Amino acid sequence: MKIAVLGGDGFVGWPTSLHLSDQGHDVHIVDNLSRRWIDTELGVQSLTPMDSIQERTRIWHQETGRRIHFHLIDLARDYEVLKSWLAAERPDAIVHFAEQRAAPYSMKSDRHKNYTVNNNVNATHNLLNAMVEIGLDAHLVHLGTMGVYGYSTIGAAIPEGYLPVGIETMTGETVKQDILYPTNPGSIYHMTKTLDQLLFQFYAKNDSVRITDLHQGIVWGTNTDQTRRHDQLVNRFDYDGDYGTVLNRFLIQAAIGYPITVHGVGGQTRAFIHIQDSVRCIELALNNPPAKGDKVKIFNQMTETHRVRDLAEMVARIAGGMVAYLPNPRKEAAENDLVVKNDQFRALGLNPITLEEGLLSEVMDVAKKYAYRVDRSRIPAVSAWTKDIAPTLEHDPEGKRLKSVS
């Protein structure tokens, strides 16, 4: 297939592009490179050295003989350019990663909230609008988040997108209907993914757009089979308080002798997936599209759940680190359970990679190799969910702040 990977320069987009190219697909990355500009804004860099997208694709061609094409387009702002590109290229499938992906970044300030809403919602709607306008019957696969469900404890497994309900009619009969599982987003970022869901429902119903929405858990790991082929193909590795995902952050903290920082009591249960499984799930979704006129196909793209404090203690045992419990910048329940169904991917043949010491050690080896690139001042998570929370946060977990002499 000819596949457009929107946001293909990002943490999941890049290894997905390599994986699909390795499968023989004609891959086109469409990206505005905004994630690189955000690094500049935050004064931080990927732990792993990242070459330009042009150099990365050149190395891929050198190593494999396969070409990945790059197109610089801002989906949220350049609607006419996007529409013209889609009309000219007419991809068979579109993988949509082109959204600001960090919950903490989306809560940093009013400006960051506005940016996240404008970028994410406009990008999704511009894409759907353009597909309909030019009559493009491509399968759209979108990377969403488990966070649309929220993390409340209800004592039942979260289904894959839809909840069967019974509604009592005026005559007293019960009518069965599938509705979207009630959303409970915990950040502006998660809220935009919730809005994406509604846009998908409308365009599938109104215009028969074929859509698969992947509600993904937290991604851990850094390398895939393809990124290991050459040092310059390495995936990005975020460790800062805004973009670093929780398990990866624990692993780098342990690797450099930094306190393993748990926020609150660590009772938050989260869903996880290894980066290799993430790209494999996207391939499986692409190979199993819904039919034209079907409702949106929704998968829970996760492989296991863990409580945050349990992960911290596990990393501490492996690496000999120290766990530090700090004030929580998020407005969330101190404890929650999380039971999630992921039957569809398992039925399609996914054999999940689970947390094992060998894989954790591999990530730590990467962290140690590039530890010289770490800016320790960027590690603390200090983007507060509310103004009341902000003054309570710990900006110096290592206790290295200079103390004034009285």
Note the pLDDT of residue 201: 98
Dihedral, CA of residue 252, residue 15, residue 279 and residue 309, to nearest 10: 10
Q: Give the integer Cα–Cα distance in Å for 42 and 47.
A: 14
Catalytic-residue membership of 192: no
Among candidate residues 16, 116, 145, 303, the one labeled active-site is: 145
Per-residue pLDDT at 31:
98
Q: What is d(CA 201, CA 256) in angstroms, rounded to the nearest whole number?
A: 46
CA angle 328–329–335, rounded 5-degree value: 40
Helix (H, G, I), strand (E, B) or coil at 369: helix
What does the alpha-carbon distance between residue 396 and residue 398 come to, in Å, rounded to a whole number?
5
Closest Cα to residue 149, out of 266, 271, 241?
271
pTM of the model: 0.95
CA distance 311 to 239: 16
Residue 406's pLDDT is 44
Question: What pLDDT, on a 0 to 100 scale, did the predictor assign at position 341?
Answer: 92
**What pLDDT does 355 receive?**
87
Q: Where are the alpha helices (DSSP H) in 26-175?
A: 34-42, 53-64, 79-89, 103-106, 110-133
Query: Catalytic: 145?
Result: yes
pLDDT by residue, tens only, the chain of 406 residues: 999 999 999 999 999 999 999 999 999 999 999 999 999 999 999 999 999 999 999 999 999 999 999 999 999 999 999 999 999 999 999 999 999 999 999 999 999 999 999 999 999 999 999 999 999 999 999 999 999 998 766 778 999 999 999 999 999 999 999 999 999 999 999 999 999 999 999 999 999 999 999 999 999 999 999 999 999 999 999 999 999 999 999 999 999 999 999 999 999 999 999 999 999 999 999 999 999 999 999 999 999 999 999 999 999 998 888 999 999 999 999 988 888 999 999 999 999 998 887 788 889 999 999 999 999 999 999 999 999 999 999 999 998 765 445 4
Written as one string, the DSSP assignment of 237-263 is ---STTT--HHHHHHHHHHTT--EEEE
Q: What is the pLDDT of residue 152?
A: 67
The neighbouring-strand residues paired with 324 are: 261
The residues near 38 (Cβ < 8 Å, ≥ 6 apart) are 100, 105, 243
DSSP helix/strand/coil, 279: helix
Q: How far, in Å, CA of 96 to CA of 30, rounded?
A: 10
Catalytic residue (one of 79, 193, 227, 258): 193
pLDDT attached to residue 153: 66
Q: Which of 189, 203, 239, 258 is catalytic?
A: 189
Q: What pLDDT does residue 358 have?
A: 78
Residue 103 is predicted with a pLDDT of 97
Q: What is the pLDDT of residue 319?
A: 86
The two tokens of residue 336 are 């929650």
